[in-house]
Amino acid sequence: MRLIRKLLVWLLVLAALAALAAWFALRGSVARLDGVVEGGVQAKVTVERDALGTATISGENRADLVYALGYLHGQERYFQMDLLRRVAAGELAELFGTVALDVDKRHRLHRFRARAATAIAALPAGQREIVERYRDGVNAGLADLAVRPWEYLLLRSPPAPWRSEDSALAIYAMFLDLNGDGENARELNLARLKAQVPEPLYRFLVQPGSPWDAPIRGEPLPPVAIPGQEVFDLRTAMLELPPDLPRFATLSREDLGEKPGSNNFAVGGALTVNGAALVADDMHLGLRVPNIWYRARLRYPDPNDPARTVDLNGVTLPGAPALLAGSNGRIAWGYTNSYGDWTDWVRVVRDPADPARYRTSDGDAAIEKHAETIRVKGAADVALTVEETRWGPIMAADVDGTPLALAWTAHDPRVFNLDLMQLEQVNTARGALALAPSMGMPVQNFVVGDGDGMIGWTLTGNALPRRAGYDPTLPADWSRAGVGWTGWVDAAEFPRVFNPPDARLWSANARVIDGDALALVGDGGYDLGARARQIRDGLRSHERFTAAEMLSVQLDDRALFLAPWRELLRKTVAGTTDAAFETLRHADAAWDGYAAVDDAQYALVREFRVRTIAAALAPFEALGRKSDAKFELPSAQTYEAPVWALVTERPAHLLDPRYADWNDLLLAAARDAATRVAGETWGARNVASIRHPLSRALPGFLARHLDMPAQPLPGDKNMPRVQGPAFGASERFAISPGHENESYLMMPGGQSGHPLSPFHGAGHEDWVRGRPTPLLPGKTVYRLELKPASP
């Protein structure tokens, strides 16, 4: 017995020592916050951090600030940066093993590491020097940690140094995120659907707009008429489909509220209290710990006016050396994803006698073959051959089996440059609009305002393709002369809106323009216009603006879009005895619903809409799968207009014959929705799941120290306050240029992903509650100095 007690004591001692060693190792990877660092800079740079971890970086020249920002990113965000470059390059399996292999195989087809090296080499010398200075700062910051970042201890892998091309890869990762993961699945699915239904029905199902649209130029597009029975009769078509056809179509990621997007809007000085413009922006992305953005303030002497200090406030992307969105004291700017058409499928007609060659408008050409090796942790390397044409890599097949190459703007080296950094020196909204078309980045809606009260909208991104001779929503043969992308749109032709008469601008991933400009931009799957319309109407409801009015629009979680669906549900269940609908049966026709955490009716109405769309479209999904078993309906967002027309006009020839009538279908959707919701409030279904990428691999008692609290969240898609469990506003700001002390910036997840950092989760509760966190940093809590190496 005594021996057993001794063994237990020793085991406890060993466990305590192991825990202590683990704690010291973890502590050793916390970023340096105070003290002096020598080397890497030409003149002294100071880094002051407030209680949130916002870094104020002050120096004598921009190059030193680039190095210092890289140093901070390398110290506090290296693992996040590593994931960005690896996801773009298709190198995740090297770190995570076979679990990441499928993602690597998909992304390696784009050969982004090779393209990144080409893009860096093509940069002007000055921009290439910035990339190199940033690289050196990142690696110095990483090396200056006492222990490598804790994630690598857990993964038992050393971090690989940062390379110059990795900054381009970080931007390519954003292309993947914002452009459908580089798969162009939407247009594949459109082709599959078109192959199975008559043209009038196809045009009805995929009509490009709805009455909810609220473009800043133009009006909602007219609806497409329901085709008659003589065109298509679903009752007959169903005879050719399997008898065990599911009654509800498959839901897409977008239907679950996770379509990458954003809100941005602005009001001119004529409407503001101080006479300067007000710019609001919240970029909707997947939410993690730490947040994708890094808050920073950068201050340095203006090289064009030594008496002035350039003062930048906003967010940076760890992995890149620029301030992405925010203010320079004279202008403020932000983005939303444009959802223009930046990817097209090209039919590759191989030579029957030699499949290694294909037809082009200049004659036959050889298909390039690139051997790629994917390194897999804990397993053998995987060899991958990428076949590439002049238009892009071969990645899919058309409905008739013809190979398809993906033409994507991201494949051109021009899409990466650092022209964005020139915004630091721009003084006017007009000047920013002129610069935007040269900025190498994913094409975004760009809204800007200046201190004189001017506002404007245009597109950023220097790669708008000119198209000729084909329908860009479907695969096409570009081997014919004059068909395909024929060049790039000149900056002078980019659509712009400057100082509109009502001094209000807005964008929210829906269609923004019309006419020739819309034809130039194309349709890459615009979001439903309900959110944009609610923002527009919210702006029009105010005649005088401060930051508080902008925040009220951003936090608007009224369920205006669902009001017609709620009334349809109320009428559908009026004659039923189902207990789940008792409250609804006795409710008034008027509804002031919100996506509030304590609202049970909202959750039911929301689910009823989705289930109705899924039921109405189930047969059409089955028809699409006759072309390809992988067919998916693009999204319930796309089908809002046609399905609403079906459930209001109720044509018998387009009803699934398994239902007696349209009311029978609606009642089935209502009951399915009630079963799924089970009386839960919206807050019980919309619970924050903002987690560190590695927390799922840890026991719960450890994971909770990495992740944000599992709190109920208000808001949803199709309203300004877009918020899901792990998706929503990755930042939320409103900035008045020249009045930054009256502006705010909120971020979820905090500035640091290190559980022992004082900035882990800092500011997150403000984001949850919608409390405006000041844009300008608070009182200095920590001070770090970088200075030149001693002689």
CB 703 within 8 A of CB 691: yes
What one-character-per-residue DSSP string does 218-256 give? S-PPPPPPPPPTTT--HHHHGGGS-TT--SSPPPPTTTT
Q: Are strands 35-38 and 782-787 parallel, antiparallel or unpaired?
A: parallel
213 among annotated binding-site residues: no
Residue 57 and residue 41: Cα distance in Å, rounded?
Answer: 13
Structure tokens at 507: 């964008």
Residue 361 and residue 293: Cα distance in Å, rounded?
Answer: 45
Closest CA to 32 of 786, 776, 789: 786
Closest CA to 501 of 216, 215, 212: 216
Residue 409 and residue 167: Cα distance in Å, rounded?
Answer: 18
199 among annotated binding-site residues: no
3-state per-residue secondary structure call for 93-161: HHHHHHHHHHHHHHHHCCCHHHHHHHHHHHCCHHHHHHHHHHHHHHHHHHHCCCCCCHHHHHHCCCCCC
In 10 A of CB 582, how many CB atoms?
12
Closest CA to 734 of 327, 457, 142: 327
CB 718 within 8 A of CB 552: no
CB 186 within 8 A of CB 111: no
CB 500 within 8 A of CB 514: no
262 is catalytic: yes
Catalytic residue among 29, 58, 167, 262: 262
CB 90 within 8 A of CB 105: yes
Residue 626 and residue 241: Cα distance in Å, rounded?
Answer: 9
C-alpha distances in Å from residue 79, one per residue of 154, 178, 347, 420, 613: 12, 21, 39, 25, 41
CA 331 to chain centre: 24
187 among annotated binding-site residues: yes
C-alpha distances in Å from residue 508, one per residue of 28, 473, 513: 43, 22, 12
Helix ranges (H only) for 179-221 are 185-194, 199-205
Closest CA to 138 of 166, 174, 116, 157: 166
Closest CA to 128 of 413, 409, 443, 427: 413
C-alpha distances in Å from residue 485, one per residue of 407, 427, 473, 479, 480: 9, 35, 13, 11, 12
472 among annotated binding-site residues: yes
3-state per-residue secondary structure call for 622-673: HHHHHHCCCCCCCCCCCCHHHHHHHHHHCCHHHCCCCCCCHHHHHHHHHHHH
Closest CA to 209 of 526, 496, 620: 526
C-alpha distances in Å from residue 48, one per residue of 174, 193, 224, 296: 29, 57, 58, 10
Structure tokens at 176: 């993947």
Using DSSP's 3-state secondary structure scheme, residue 335 falls into strand
Sole residue written with tokens 């369920």: 559
**What sign results for the dihedral spanned by CA atoms 722, 725, 730, 736?**
positive
Known binding-site residues equal 187, 341, 344, 472
Active-site residue numbers?
A: 262
Known binding-site residues for Ca(2+) equal 187, 341, 344, 472
